[in-house]
């Protein structure tokens, strides 16, 4: 599939999606959000893809924010529609994807960029990364899930401070806050992401999808995470991956999972 604003490449069961608008610091416009939706959907449906890595092109930015020129003159109803459609099409879509998604944050991840990174299942960052939600400095609030996911990841107080000050934190502070799992040099960022992806892909993709669903349930209103875990745990017993995994363990051999 040909894209104008992103790149997508599959190698060794890892699909790497790169936001490729370096002249705009990889800012998210509607066309890019649409392309990202298609690329994530395609990778998730591809049996060969075991892990997805999302990153930005160049050395300066993962995603420096949303393309403000697209919505500067929007009405109230248009603003609500923008947030609702964006969350459904990309941010919530990524968060609930059954294929694990690693965000490799290179440089600035601001506004919609940080929201995209937070929608991924976990994050690693280069040591030049800067993260923040500066929306209140524009007279608006984060609209792509930032007011919900940031408190879940760093706690309410830290999230409130970051949102209200419109400030940025560096990679090491993000690591201290638990916003990212690891910090590397810029040169090592993608190789390290691929190393983590390699550890993930040798496990059961069916079980990983069930784990994602169970973990997510614990953060959703009206959902009982423990009940979701029980249900997903039970479902695993009816899968070919469970049969292969348990037999491999009992036979003291390496499992060869059928996969998704």
Tokens coding 147: 């007011």
CB 111 within 8 A of CB 137: no
Distance, CA of 23 to chain centre: 23
Terminal-residue alpha carbon distance, the chain = 22
Catalytic residue (one of 135, 227, 229, 244) = 135
How high is the pLDDT of residue 202?
95
Distance, CA of 19 to chain centre: 13
Per-residue pLDDT of the chain (260 residues; tens, 9 = 90+): 789 999 999 999 999 999 999 999 999 999 999 999 999 999 999 999 999 999 999 999 999 998 888 898 999 999 999 999 999 999 999 999 999 999 999 999 999 999 999 999 999 999 999 999 999 999 999 999 999 999 999 999 999 999 999 999 999 999 999 999 999 999 999 999 999 999 999 999 999 999 999 999 999 989 999 999 999 999 999 999 999 999 999 999 999 998 77
How high is the pLDDT of residue 53?
98
Reply yes or no on whether 188 is catalytic: no
How high is the pLDDT of residue 259?
79
Please identify which residue in the block is written with the tokens 């040169």: 187
| Dihedral angle sign, alpha carbons of residues 207, 209, 210, 214 | positive
Helix (H, G, I), strand (E, B) or coil at 132: strand
How high is the pLDDT of residue 67?
84
Residues 120, 40: Cα–Cα separation, whole Å:
11
| Predicted structure pTM score | 0.96
Q: Give the alpha-carbon dihedral of 95, 98, 104, 109, to 10 degrees.
A: -10
Catalytic residue (one of 115, 188, 220, 227) = 115
Reply yes or no on whether 4 is catalytic: no
How high is the pLDDT of residue 252?
97
How high is the pLDDT of residue 68?
86
CA distances from 35 to 32, 96, 176, 232 (A): 5, 18, 33, 31
The β-bridge relationship of strands 14-19 and 6-11 is antiparallel
């Amino acid at each position: 599939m040909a894209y104008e604003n992103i790149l997508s490449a599959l190698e060794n069961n890892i699909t790497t999606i790169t936001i490729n608008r370096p002249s705009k610091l990889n800012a998210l416009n509607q066309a890019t959000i649409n392309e990202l939706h298609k690329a994530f959907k395609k990778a998730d449906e591809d049996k060969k893809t075991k892990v997805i890595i999302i990153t930005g092109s160049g050395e300066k930015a993962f995603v420096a924010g949303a393309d403000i020129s697209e919505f500067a003159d929007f009405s109230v109803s248009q603003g609500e529609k923008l947030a609702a459609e964006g969350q459904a099409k990309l941010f919530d879509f990524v968060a609930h994807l059954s294929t694990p998604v690693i965000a490799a944050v290179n440089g600035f991840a601001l506004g919609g960029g940080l929201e995209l990174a937070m929608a991924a299942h976990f994050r690693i960052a280069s040591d030049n990364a800067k993260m923040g939600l500066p929306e209140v400095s524009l007279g608006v609030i984060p609209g792509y899930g930032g007011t919900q996911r940031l408190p879940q990841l760093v706690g309410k107080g830290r999230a409130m401070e970051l949102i209200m000050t419109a400030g940025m934190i560096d990679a090491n502070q993000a690591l201290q806050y638990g916003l990212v799992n690891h910090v590397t040099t810029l040169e090592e960022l993608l190789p390290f992401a691929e190393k983590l992806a390699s550890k993930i892909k040798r496990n059961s993709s069916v079980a990983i999808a069930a784990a994602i669903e169970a973990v997510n349930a614990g953060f959703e209103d009206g959902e009982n995470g423990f009940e979701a875990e029980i249900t997903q745990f039970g479902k695993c017993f009816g899968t070919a991956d469970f049969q292969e995994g348990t037999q491999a363990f009992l036979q003291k051999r390496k499992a060869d999972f059928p996969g998704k």
